Amino acid sequence: MLKNQRTLAKPCSLSGTGLHTGNRTTVTFRPSAENTGIRFRRVDLPEKPEIPADIDHVVDNLRDTTIGQGGVQIRQVEHVLAAVYGLEIDNVVIELDSNEPPVGDGSAMPFVEILQRAGFEEQDSPKDYLTIEETIAYSDKEKGIDMVVFPSDDFRITFMVDYQNPALGTQYTSMYSLTDEFVKEFASARTFCFLHEVEALHDKGLIQGGNLGNAVVIIDRKLENNELQALARKFGLKDEIVPGSTGILGGKELRYPNEPVRHKTLDLIGDLALIGRPLKAHVMAARSGHAAHVELVKQIRKLYKKQQITHKYQTQPAKKGVFLDAQAIQRILPHRYPFLLVDRIVDLIPGERVIGIKNVSMNEPFFTGHFPSHPIMPGVLIVEAMAQTGAILILDSIEEPEKKLAYFMSIDQVKFRKPVVPGDQLQIEVSLVRSRASSYKMAGKAYVSGELVCEAELMAGIVNR
């Protein structure tokens, strides 16, 4: 069933203390127009700068997820984003009068409750789902992290953690329906850490607003009375800390037997919100944290950008193995016969690389004179085919590419390895080396049947048509 986008019916606010900074802070959620997405706004700064909640603006992911732009940062956004994503809100402005949202009880439930009270408003545009059509995997063997994203008709998560601690052990959870399960089963799962981490984090200037009311501290070593007293002083607690019999500092009870892995799932939902679109996929994660989530989201985001390019330029379904056909290429490049030297694009990773194909036919006009009795594709045209393939890569990375041209400024380190003759198929691979303002440096290679026939370094500048 087609679903429309949603925003809030009215603004709502929540005040409290930031977990890491200890700053007193207020977060205000405001309705936003359709197709504007999720944006944070720092209202404590003069120009009230905004930071889009997407993976391109993540600046730190060590102990939480921090986004930033132009030197302005907001840390630990994952619980706020989990609440927004879990309630299927597409467009919202999240205002903060500090650099960190309030931690509440360490879960997403305080945000969920105020958002539910504010109510939701359906908008006119349909939701822009990112549908996963191929398996995506991320793995870190040294840390034992594995994450896989499978195609699915709905958004699902399966999460497993394996802590070498008797208080936790191996934990597992699954979420099959965001609509039915998020609020009831996951939103109230609290953040947690191990006792050995607490003092180290505090001494690094983190968890300055942490206390036993907003975090679950797992006891992973024996505590003497003097250590308990030192912990109480460090965190400004008036009452004595007791170990308790639950394996949790202060004797607290878990809200669920597997609350830690449910909170890890909550964090993952918040980090997946950085894709910028609702997801249709089954995400399976083992022993992952924010850093791994960010790397996975980067891969998914690339897939989303590829889909955007296809939808923008490919007006009819392309054949299998074709990313952009000849007609789509002509919507990006100004070149036409007899100087359009790219027949199709078979792969493109935005901002990284592109692979194009040029079929070299005996009917090419340049074979009439180069050479009539011994036809060889001119080397300068092989380089031109590279340049046109690279232009597709860089023109897509700018706004309104139909109004721009890629002028090539220099060509260096050109080497011709083998002649290209009628009947050959050139596979042209161009990678972006660096970009600065409106100039781009690329490395190009051309192959025939897997053999390198030409390579070059290309420098291009973007100008108005």
**Closest C-alpha among 110, 101, 109 to residue 21:** 101
The dihedral built from the CA positions of residue 1, 276, 284 and 162, taken in this order, carries a sign that is negative
Task: Give me 73's structure tokens.
Answer: 């940062």
Q: Which member of 79, 263, 290, 293 is catalytic?
A: 290
Q: CA-to-CA distance for 63 and 327, rounded, in angstroms?
A: 47
Contacts of 334 (CB under 8 A, 6+ apart): 405, 465
Secondary structure class of 51 (helix, strand, coil): strand
Residue type, 7: T
Q: CB count, 10 Å around CB of 180?
A: 10
In contact, 456 and 433? CB cutoff 8 Å: no
Return the amino acid letter for 144.
Answer: G
79 in catalytic set: no
Q: Are 422 and 363 in contact, with CB atoms under 8 Å apart?
A: no
Distance CA 346, CA 355 (A): 6
Under DSSP, the state recorded for 324 is: B
Give every CB contact of residue 297 below 8 A, 6+ residues apart in sequence: 55, 271, 272, 274, 275
For the question of residue 370 being annotated catalytic, the response is yes
Would you tell me the crossing angle of helices 109-118 and 78-86 to the nearest 10 degrees? 40
DSSP 79-99: HHHHHHHHTT---EEEEESSS
* 57, 202, 335, 370: the active-site residue: 370
Cα angle for residues 298, 302, 308 (degrees, 5° grid): 140
Q: Which residues are catalytic?
A: 290, 370
